[in-house]
């Protein structure tokens, strides 16, 4: 187990400056998730920690030791990728034993470690099979098992579930969460998936164009986004962002309100936005409505449960003031004390 510290880490590929002055502390035992739009540098940051990419400038410490020039295999990190990269000609047992053999472990030690990890990941009955005879979820568990047997100080996961179907994703996500609870090791995880980020993370790191936008617990990011970027990135469907009068009346440039915080009603009250229903999506558990509001634009609202609505009908939207997020022209939150009441 180990803590990690990144100090002013930069990564430049030829002409492309991909990571800008990354400063980050990851406490021992933390589960940290990197999120951000495609190309923002998540994988590069993870690969830099693993030692698969050199650091152009800055310092990386693992467990207090400077590791900039330490080879990947000597950093005590275990990595699990999106593609399982199992050796096809080896059995599950041999795949899991391979790294330990390279480390010079004895037969008995290898057997006891592989068998214990196989039991944890419910792979005990599959040890003699080759990867071709496994399902996607089983292969991914072998890939995780292969990393675990070496007892790394830090686990690095790069979108490990993205090749799995929806139900296996949920199942394997739970297994990873339980694994973290049981091992207590430091885990760093890259994903595109909001739900994975929100459910797994102790801390989420939101990245944007090679920079860290905000670091916080899932609920801090959801409730107190430090920028318009984070506000729209965290939460699904995304936060409504209103420009113009609605925001200016309150003393800001943009007014944000999450779809789940809008109250939708068919009879209007004073202060409601009046709109016309463009489309409704029925998910069973929820209904998403897309409403055209004159002078404001299209707004999305989430209604819990089922609501029968005819496209083209009039709807009224109410935004409770405690759920409003106000941003200035630079996309930074407007201090609540400076906010005007409408
Ligand atoms: N070996 C390389 N040489 C040059 N540029 C690279 C190299 N690897 C990555 N990049 C660039 O660095 C930027 C960040 O890439 P990276 O893969 O880290 O993003 P990401 O956030 O993981 O994206 P995604 O979510 O799409 O996987 C991209 O603009 C990419 O084109």
Domains of the chain (ranges plus CATH)?
A: 4-228 (3.40.50.300), 239-338 (2.40.50.140)
pLDDT in tens, 215-233: 999 999 999 999 999 999 9
The interface predicted TM-score (ipTM) is: 0.96
Atom of ligand 1 nearest to the CA of 159: 27
Nearest residue (CA) to ligand 1, atom 17: 43
pLDDT confidence of residue 70: 95
pLDDT confidence of residue 122: 84
Ligand 1 pocket, mutate which of 10, 38, 43 (most atoms under 8 A from CB): 43
Residue 161 · residue 192 · CB < 8 Å: no
Q: Helix or strand or coil: residue 73?
A: helix
- 245's enclosing H/E stretch is helix 245-248
What distance in Å separates the CA atoms of residue 18 and residue 209, rounded to the nearest whole number? 7
Ligand 1 pocket, mutate which of 15, 16, 47 (most atoms under 8 A from CB): 16
Pairing between β-strand 154-158 and β-strand 186-190 as defined by DSSP bridges: parallel
What distance in Å separates the CA atoms of residue 127 and residue 294, rounded to the nearest whole number? 63
pLDDT in tens, 116-147: 889 888 899 999 999 999 988 888 889 988 98
Placement of tokens 């187990």 in the chain: 1
pLDDT in tens, 151-191: 888 999 999 888 777 877 888 888 889 889 988 899 999 99
For residue 35 and ligand 1, the question of a CB distance below 6 A is answered with no
pLDDT confidence of residue 179: 85
Residue 154 · residue 185 · CB < 8 Å: yes
What distance in Å separates the CA atoms of residue 162 and residue 212, rounded to the nearest whole number? 23
Nearest residue (CA) to ligand 1, atom 8: 44
pTM: predicted TM-score of the whole model, two decimal places: 0.90
For residue 44 and ligand 1, the question of a CB distance below 6 A is answered with yes
Nearest residue (CA) to ligand 1, atom 1: 13
What distance in Å separates the CA atoms of residue 59 and residue 263, rounded to the nearest whole number? 49
Task: Sort 289 into a burial class: Cβ within 10 Å, 0-12 / 13-18 / 19+.
Answer: buried
pLDDT in tens, 241-283: 999 888 998 899 999 999 999 999 999 898 899 999 999 999 9
| Proportion of the chain above pLDDT 90, given as a percent | 69
Give the residue-averaged pLDDT of 86-97: 94
């Amino acid at each position: 187990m180990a803590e990690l510290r990144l100090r002013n880490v930069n990564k430049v590929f030829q002409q492309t400056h991909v990571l800008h002055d990354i400063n980050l502390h990851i406490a021992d035992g933390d589960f940290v998730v990197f999120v951000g739009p495609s190309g923002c540098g998540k994988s590069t940051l993870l690969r830099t920690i693993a030692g698969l990419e050199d650091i152009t400038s800055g310092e990386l410490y693992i467990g207090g030791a400077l590791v900039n020039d330490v080879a990947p295999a000597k950093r005590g990190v275990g990595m699990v990728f999106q593609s399982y990269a199992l050796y096809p000609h080896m059995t599950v047992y041999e795949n899991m034993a391979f790294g330990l053999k390279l480390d010079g472990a004895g037969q008995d030690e290898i057997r006891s470690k592989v068998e214990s990890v196989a039991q944890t990941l419910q792979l005990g009955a599959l040890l003699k099979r080759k990867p071709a005879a496994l399902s996607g979820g089983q292969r991914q568990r072998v890939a995780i098992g292969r990393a675990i047997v070496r007892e790394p100080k830090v686990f690095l996961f790069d979108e490990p579930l993205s090749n799995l179907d929806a139900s296996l994703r949920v199942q394997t996500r739970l297994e990873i969460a339980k694994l973290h609870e049981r091992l207590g090791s430091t885990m760093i995880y890259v994903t595109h998936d909001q739900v994975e980020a929100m459910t797994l993370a102790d801390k989420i790191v939101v990245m944007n164009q090679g920079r860290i936008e905000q670091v916080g617990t899932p609920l801090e990011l959801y409730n107190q986004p430090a920028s318009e970027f984070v506000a729209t990135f965290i939460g699904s469907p995304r936060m409504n962002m209103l420009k113009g009068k609605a925001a200016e009346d309150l003393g800001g440039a943009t007014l944000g309100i999450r779809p789940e915080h809008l109250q939708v009603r068919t009879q209007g009250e004073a202060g409601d936005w009046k709109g016309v229903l463009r489309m409704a999506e029925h998910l069973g558990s929820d209904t998403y409505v897309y409403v055209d509001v004159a002078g404001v634009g299209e707004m999305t609202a989430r209604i819990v449960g089922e609501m029968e609505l005819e496209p083209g009908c009039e709807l009224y939207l109410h935004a409770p003031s405690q759920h409003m997020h106000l941003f200035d022209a630079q996309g930074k939150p407007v201090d609540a004390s400076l906010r005007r009441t409408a």
